[in-house]
Amino acid sequence: MRADLHVHTTASDGTDSPEEVVARAASIGLGLLAIADHDTLDGIQPAVEEGRRRNVEVMPAIELGTEHRGQEIHILGYMIDTGSGRLRSELAFFRDTRTERVTRMVHRLNKLGFPISMRRVMEIAGRGSVGRPHIARAMVEKGIVGSVEEAFDRYIGEGKPGFEPRLKCTPVQAVHIIRLAGGVAVLAHPGLSPDDGLIQALIPEGLQGIEVYHPCHAPEVREHYLRLCEHYGLVATGGSDYHGKEDKKHNRLGECTVSRRVADRIRDLARENRVKAGINQESGIGEGDPCGWPTG
């Protein structure tokens, strides 16, 4: 069984619904997906229900955006307790800051003469966590730009006239949030902002894995991080970072996968983490798991 452990849906900035992602996974023979939307758990349960219908296992996950020395660093959290009040409180705060940031960016674009409405941006985001891709899609609709990529390159990318920074936590804080929810913290796509010193610093804080296999990682980059995993005893994960068939960059579900053994190791680590965190084993893992993760 092959597993894609980095998948986004319309619950955050993906273009496919959770059900569409699972259906697509089934059509290409993937047996397991990790739904890892940005700062939200809302895509997990619909994906689980569709997975039961199509015999695709769904692992509960999340991706948290952080900042370290001026660089954006993403931390993945696998097998989190989806019922954790602490986690949901933190995510509500992150979503509120996302909305405030998008509001400021829309105001900037309005001052530049672009008739973008916050209402339309929120409609495009739907029930998902709103972000810059939704602004970009609104700009495409208005004919201001020809593509989402052009919107980022000219107006809403970092340093561009419509850009506003977002309040982010630190990588250490993100690791702690994930571990307190009984999850397994993994550094996402480290090749995009390499800093081996950060990895060394995060291990004693609770980092347990590195996303070695990612579409943006060249073979030599994968080998480098695989060696680090072996040296530090970390789990080497991987995934396509799929954002939907309409996304111009990450539109190939299953482009990077790992074996079921990797998913099983994550599950085992999560069991240990839950014991340490004092979390009921049936609250998010095993037969009592509302997300349906199997025991065997």
pLDDT in tens, 138-156: 999 999 999 999 999 999 9
User: Cα(157)–Cα(163) distance, rounded to whole angstroms?
Assistant: 6
- Sheet of 32-35, strands arranged across: 235-238, 207-213, 184-187, 71-78, 57-68, 32-35, 2-7, 258-259
pLDDT in tens, 163-176: 998 877 999 999 99
Question: What residue spans in the chain does CATH classification 3.20.20.140 cover?
Answer: 2-83+170-283
Q: What is the mean pLDDT of the chain?
A: 91
Mark the ranges of the chain whose per-residue pLDDT is less than 50: 282-296
The percentage of the chain sitting over the pLDDT mark of 90, rounded to a whole number, equals 78
pLDDT at 281: 56
Q: Which helix or strand (DSSP H or E) is residue 209 part of?
A: strand 207-213
CATH number of 91-156: 1.10.150.650
CATH number of 2-83+170-283: 3.20.20.140
Q: Three-class SS of residue 140?
A: helix
Distances (CA, A) of 209 to 75, 86, 287: 10, 23, 25
Question: What residue spans in the chain does CATH classification 1.10.150.650 cover?
Answer: 91-156
